[in-house]
Amino acid sequence: MSLNRSEKEAVISEVTSLAAKAQTLVIAEYRGITVADMTKLRVDARSKGVSLSVLKNTLARRAVAGSAFDVVADQMTGPLIYGFSEDAVAAAKVVADFAKTNDKLVIRGGAFGGKALDVNGVKQLANIPSKEVLLAQICGLLMSPMSRTAVVLGALAAKKGEGAAAPAAEPAAA
């Protein structure tokens, strides 16, 4: 079904606004995926803040023209699904995780920070821990010296307490 001019302009403006907010774009070929699998992918993506769209490639090229994702305009051929995310790794993680379980979804590439990513680049981006995990790791690193110091001071206090209690206990026993 073909879109009229105003519908095409609406699609382009919607995708342009997605691209303006997004940090990452992942492009994957979805040829042969069942509707049920595509629905699972969309539900998973929506829950993680990723916007997945099946677009006409010419409309997608026009929508990303002049944005940081313009670097992948030459890869926009064939039946593609476009994943935009504001989180740097969410789109790559959703698509890569789904591609592991469904061989019909083939990652073609993507863009992050104005640089084009190949398939391996998208997979590496997907392997980066999420923001929450990274923050937890940093907190753990910052707390580690403090907790070690507290344990050592506690052990010293216990040892001094034993040393002071032991001489007092001996005269009472004698």
DSSP one-letter string for 90-130:
HHHHHHHHHHHH-TT-EEEEEEETTEEE-HHHHHHHHHSPP
* Residue 18: predicted pLDDT: 86
Model confidence, pTM: 0.72
Q: What is the pLDDT along the chain (174 residues), one digit of tens a residue?
A: 577 888 888 888 888 888 888 888 999 998 888 999 999 999 999 998 898 988 888 888 888 888 888 888 888 888 899 999 888 888 899 999 999 988 888 999 899 888 888 888 888 888 888 778 888 888 888 888 888 888 888 888 888 887 665 554 455 554
Under a CB-based contact definition with an 8 Å cutoff, are residues 30 and 78 in contact? Answer: no
pLDDT of residue 167: 54
Cα angle 49-51-53, degrees, rounded to a multiple of 5: 165
Strand locations in the chain, DSSP E?
A: 24-29, 50-54, 80-85, 106-112, 115-117
Sheet containing 115-117: which strands, arranged edge to edge? 50-54, 80-85, 24-29, 106-112, 115-117
| pLDDT for res 129 | 82
Q: What is the pLDDT of residue 163?
A: 66
| Residue 14, token pair as written in the block | 């919607």
Three-class secondary structure of residue 24 per DSSP: strand
With beta carbons less than 8 A apart as the criterion, state whether 85 and 128 touch: no
Q: How far apart are CA 4 and CA 30, in angstroms?
A: 25
